[in-house]
Amino acid sequence: IYQVLDTKKKDWPDWMKKLWEVEKYCNKLLKDMHDVQASITGTVTYSNKYYGEKTRHITDLKINYIDIRGWYPEEYIK
């Protein structure tokens, strides 16, 4: 998804910055819990519908993680 934008991070649109925060959270989760499998799924669609500009929309963004030990620390259940 980073290849979508050829700009520096400070110039990213809000949706990109939010997605970056989600990924950082998942990376922290994986470091804290070695027996966790996590993935981010989502769909990025492009629309030229409004004003003739190409706009990006993220839909169905989900964080999926499975603790293969069968327990979930409360701080990670949100």
Q: Using CA atoms, how far apart are residues 58 and 15, in angstroms rounded to an integer?
A: 8
pLDDT, tens digit (0-9, with 9 covering 90-100), for 39-78: 666 665 555 555 555 555 666 666 665 555 555 555 555 4
At 19, list the tokens.
Answer: 């997605």
Q: What is the DSSP annotation of 42-61?
A: EEEEEE--STT--EEEEEEE
pLDDT at 27 (0 to 100):
74
Provide the terminal-to-terminal Cα distance of the chain, rounded to the nearest Å.
25
pLDDT at 25 (0 to 100):
78
Angle (nearest 5°) at CA 29 between 23 and 30: 90
Question: What separation in angstroms does the CA of 48 have from each of 13, 17, 63?
Answer: 17, 22, 28
pLDDT greater at residue 34 or residue 11: 11
